[in-house]
Structure 1
Amino acid sequence: MAQSSANLNKLGQPERVVALDGTINFRDLGGYRNKKGQTTQWRRIYRAASLGNLTVSDRTLLADLDIINDIDLRSPSEQQSYPDQSWDSVRFISNPLYPTTGFNRMLNNHHVRKIFRRRREIPKLDNPIANIYQNVLMTKHSQQEFAQTFAVLLGMSSEQASVFHCAAGKDRTGMTAALILLALNIPDETIIQDYLLTNELYDYANDHQAPTNDDIQQAVDQMNTQVGEALYIQGVLATINDGFGGMTNYWREALGLSMGDLKQFQKMFLQ
């Protein structure tokens, strides 16, 4: 796989944040340690905000990083109004996470959880945003789109990478990242920290500075992962872990993927 100096620090180690001129919050999901002591592979799966304003140098960098799949989680209208900029050898994949019809009903339906007849009860969440996240997890359309993202990632070779994104790289992207990390057995606390990093990166953008790995680690060390916006992604984790009995069950029952797929996914993206 090609290695770009823009994604390496002075020690030759990968950076969490890929510094681009035309977008922010473009980052690598590598380097996270799971419950078995394995680590997610660097330079394989990236998450991002909008890719509609990439510069020529940005596109050159993404091609150098062997990113061959651009998975756009935005709605068709967003994609048409503000299309992604492409780069060499990339495949654009329209994968709108939210339903294109009945969206408001999904946001306002606090009874979605009741349609599931399960041995485990889907947890009731008090936070309204966490409730929306939960409804997304339990909506058939969104489950199909989550499964499509996993199918794209499973289709890569060992030398290739993919990026998935929405508009700000927070809600739709954050839920997708959480499911990916859950499938790789990453601890809940780490998943929450990854989710909250979006806020830190927007702060850096406002100050017109690019954060280093040290900056990111300092931000993580200061996080309060028990209150505020952390509750949003905690609702995702509670729904999967308590409501479905873990990611293995959600993978099989909600996403319709096989256990062989899960084992292959872990083999591909853990070391």
Structure 2
Amino acid sequence: MERRLIELEGAVNFRDIGGYRAGAHGRTRWRRVYRSDSLAELTPADLQRLRELDLYGISDFRLPSERAKKPDRLPEGHAMRLLTPGFIPRGTEDMLREVSMGRLDAAAIRAEVTRHYRLFAAEHLGEYVSTFRMILEAGGRPVLLHCTSGKDRTGFGVALLMLAAGCDEATVAEDYLMTNSHRRDIAFMFNGAVDPAAIEMLTAAHPEYIATALAVLRQTHGASDDWLQAMGFNAEERARLRVLLTEPA
């Protein structure tokens, strides 16, 4: 039986997105797309497991400053393609600063993170183009998407890939929410002035977050895959993506 969670010592949210219903008669392929949190603390045993996955490439959505503080640990001498389409939605740094100073309660953070997810779909589709193109180039070999927690930037990217594969929005949300079972405790990063409920609202995957991003995508581009066309993928490439991402159920 396939395992969704790839158990590692130095990463807690490394998952395979295979096995989800995709369209009427398909499912997402196992061992084709992985998603993860930070790779900065991988152990020697983890690095061996990474070698065994035979990844074609990795997309790291962290900013250069994030990568500099906690660079990925990767197998020595690897030949993986490494993409760094790092970004954060505008206002993120201001929000984190306000959180650290205890100035935002849970309701304010909920509103702010929801706004960020709206921006994912409205302003940041372009940051995912190179990842989609890498999947086309990989020709069937697996790829990995990751950021710091594997929830927001990675979560939206995986949502796009699942939609491209033919998954419905409920299935996309199911995978997104699985992050809640595989989170690091980061309360220690904030001082005692920060309400635990506020930290929870910041770090948890809430249904309304991904629902907001998907609603903006639908409102802007319709219920079809026109958003992929807006990203620069022609009909042949869109069909090829679905073939690469899915298999018969």
Structure 2 length normalisation: TM-score? 0.79
From 31, 36, 40, the equivalent of 1:52 is 40
RMSD, matched Cα: 2.2
Q: CA deviation at 1:105?
A: 8.9
1:200 is aligned to: 181
Tell whether the 8 Å contact from 1:127 to 1:232 is kept in structure 2 after alignment.
no
1:37, distance to aligned residue in structure 2 (A) = 2.0
Superposed displacement of residue 107, structure 1? 8.6
Q: Return 5+ residue gaps in structure 1 as ranges.
A: 1-12, 109-125, 207-227
Alignment of 1:1-271 (within 5 A): 13-87=1-75, 88-98=78-88, 103-104=90-91, 127-139=111-123, 142-158=124-140, 160-202=141-183, 229-253=206-230, 255-271=231-247
Q: Secondary structure at the match of 2:27?
A: coil
Deviation per CA, 1:147-196: give whole Å up to 9, x if none.
Answer: 111111111022x2110101000011111111110111101111111111
Structure 1 segments, 4+ long, off by >4 Å, are 105-108
Residue 91 of structure 1: how far off its partner (Å): 2.6
Number of aligned residue pairs: give it.
Answer: 212
Cα distance in 1 for partners of 2:207, 2:240 equals: 30
Q: 1:127 offset after TM fit, Å?
A: 4.5
Deviation at 1:93, TM superposition (A): 1.6
C-alpha distance in 2 between matches for 1:174 and 1:105: 16
1:155 aligned counterpart, secondary structure:
helix
> Which segments of 5 or more consecutive residues in structure 2 lack a partner in the other structure?
96-109, 186-204
Q: Check whether the contact 2:122–2:216 (CA below 8 A) recurs between aligned residues.
A: no
Q: Is the 8 A contact 1:107 1:132 kept in 2?
A: no
Q: Structure 1's 251 and 185: CA in aligned 2 closer, same or farther, altered over 3 A? A: same
% identical equivalent positions = 30
1 or 2 for the larger relative contact order (CA 8 Å, sep ≥6)? 2
Deviation at 1:58, TM superposition (A): 0.8
